[in-house]
Amino acid sequence: MNPLRTTALRVLALSLWMGLLAACGGQTDGPSSYTQSVMQDRVQRDMRMREKESVVPVRRRDAFQGLDHYPVDRTYRYVVPLERSASLDTVMMAESTGGVRPQVQIGTVTVPLPGGPTDLLVFRGEGDDPRGRRWIPFADSTNQFATYRGGRYVDLKPAGPDSVVVDFNRAYNPTCAYNPDFACPLPPPENRLRQPVSAGERRPIFRPSTAQ
């Protein structure tokens, strides 16, 4: 079967599945509810990539065949303490296009990954609301063969006054994975891991003639 048709059918099937779940009463408690939530987010992001306002450049849209992900694995979802920095340091983070962008380092988290506990720096944009988005740019050994070579991002959710949810099932590619004209912050050395993080988005699927 044509790969593009296969991807379109997959997105349609997932969309119908989520619609059926909603019609049957929405989410339930337990692992299945969590998986449904992650899958729904993935479908919605895939569909946004196909819209007129997509970050995928017009010249590549015909070749775009969809997002690809690792299977949902609750092993990669963690609730951990956020160790806040004594002072907020502005870091000039390197970008994919050669520039730099200021980011505020607000603290660290220690994540018990399958390969061993790992400390990761947590950031927010310099001009962002202090109570707003917190995120981790990270790279890992899967960048060599399965995930975007420039690393990935994961946004954090609050879990009480001093803890956050770090969910690598929701890790996503930076915009420059789809359009190299965008300037994307690159993971700092402290967030470059030797072990794999086999969760979240993999490399986007483009036809070989235009893939990067």
Length of the chain: 212
What is the pLDDT at residue 128? Answer: 62
d(CA 9, CA 24): 22
Provide Rg for the chain, Cα atoms.
18
pTM, rounded to two decimals: 0.83
Domain of 78 in residue numbering reads as 74-191
In this structure, the answer to whether residues 89 and 178 fall within a common structural domain is yes
Identity of residue 118: T
What is the pLDDT at residue 137? Answer: 98
d(CA 55, CA 150): 17
- Does residue 28 have a pLDDT over 60? no
pLDDT classification of 61: cutoffs 50, 70, 90: confident
- Does residue 99 have a pLDDT over 50? yes
d(CA 141, CA 198): 9
In this structure, the answer to whether residues 139 and 54 fall within a common structural domain is no
In this structure, the answer to whether residues 88 and 186 fall within a common structural domain is yes
What is the pLDDT at residue 206? Answer: 87
- Does residue 155 have a pLDDT over 70? yes
In this structure, the answer to whether residues 29 and 97 fall within a common structural domain is no
In this structure, the answer to whether residues 129 and 179 fall within a common structural domain is yes
H/E stretch holding 77 reads strand 77-81
What is the pLDDT at residue 78? Answer: 98
The verdict on residue 205 lying in a domain is no
